Structure 1
């Protein structure tokens, strides 16, 4: 069995000043990291990813709809009806962004939050693919455009790690330690608003102004608030979806449904308010669970975690028409490579076949295709005629199928 994904890892040095090993050991999930522009590429470090001109393009000419835009004012998210409406003749959609309404709200001090840019804006699609592969985690990228001397959100924490990338303007950040270390997604800051507010009154762990090209890493749970300085501020937030030990527990409990002892009903007349009655059943349940846990195979959990995490991260985009044209005209001299960012797993079966698993589908091939599959999926560029199969006819059949299934792309 082989499990992998394909894309060169080159994005992390753009956002951290320390070596990846040091980042993993000292900062990942533990401590914030401030990286100054001078050490990671200079003050224009992120303008290739987004700019004010790009924001104007998205807001006015791309038919943007909710929820790809949120608008926040005085710490509250405004209803979408305040800045969306119909798209006009031929685009009868009721929630398209109205650029003149957005302009008015921004001029009145509202912060604009462009969401899901890793699915919308080509430079960020590419950047998210590279960084996500390097971290081996799904990413989301939002942009925050804040008017001069304004604050979009009050002190809060996120339930995922983030990189903050300052693109234009300056922003003053106050960072405080967590009130709840490593919060899960279901443990949002609103349930601890009083603790958050009280902690925010204390001495910050980090009090810093981000300038263009600066980057800030924040583990989940760290409290933060930010205010634009004299001019408008544009920054990107890269959200990193974590995988926790609690996820292992959730998958274990799902598998535990297979044990009849754990599916058994509690006794007739059981009183759930009686501590003594609960104690007896709890003891038996824990004993049954402990016994069942010794039977669990790591491969079972790995398979469930794969099905949980793979769909959260999409591979690199493909051009459907160009892809089909390339497949139709394919010749032995054609060059192909694995689709960048594609997660895949290759299993040898007992019936003389190999199975290729990917997030979108499962494909089965004769086992003599295994060497060719492993070669063509290794992330390098390959000439079709060089694949280890019997003849060019077999090579073309295999590669055409992988192209039309979105597994390979032209090199």
Structure 2
């Protein structure tokens, strides 16, 4: 039995409930019966795909006999019916762009200077956020913004950022998405079963258990003094020509043990899409899914063995999912020469790309890889 249905939120329905109008066609049945209204819990709606109209949806459903009987009787079903959704449409959260990647550190000044010297980072703002007692700098490396961030009082465990930095150490903390409406995005993620934290309205975080392993920041405001918002915008051509020969961000690489959950969150709750899905052997056997999210690409890698190898080691330590930022360079030898002159050690060990990396110990715990 199958049914095609159009659905819309019903303001009269209880929270967490969606009204679905069904138009059903049954094998060997009389002409299609009239549309019937039923009530379905939003939590049962999965496998979401985008649709052009954000207010109305198209669903293809496999219905249990009990649900079908209820629809035939033109009554409202109880919320405990058994229904499997194969394809569903809803108003996904549109990601306008990826604003930046946060790099947690204890030495903001030295970390910022390293980005400037090693990668040609251009600083456009610095600020202090009293609610979390943390300082930050905002800079661009070609087309991608980095936000080195440090707790002002590192031992004050009453502050969320100090607690998180004490847990994961100096490393990549999260990356941030720009959306139109922060409170609406927060509600939509919670309605989809996600867990949010540090929700200040205009920005909030989505916990890794909801995203497939990566800590995500979502924001509806612009960054102070951000050149991206100036006439003409900001792109990879701005800031190129640096001695490192870095051209642009290739992708953000995340490691997960829940790759299906990551795919679902980024392509169902958010409006990302899958570009590639296949096997990888870098740096160990596993599955790699490359996604388009906003204006950049994000790769999720799940090792076949989540206990062994460099990726297993990563998964079994405190971390927020971001394994590396992978940059595209014009010339590998030029980049290597530049890094060597700054006493930055380089390695091909544990690289998630075909290129090389600066030893994370030389970059405040963050792994930067470089490919042609």
- Report the TM-score, using the length of structure 1 for normalisation: 0.18
Highest RCO, 1 vs 2 (Cα 8 Å, sep ≥ 6): 1
- Report the TM-score, using the length of structure 2 for normalisation: 0.20
Larger strand proportion, structure 1 or 2?
2
Larger helix proportion, structure 1 or 2?
1
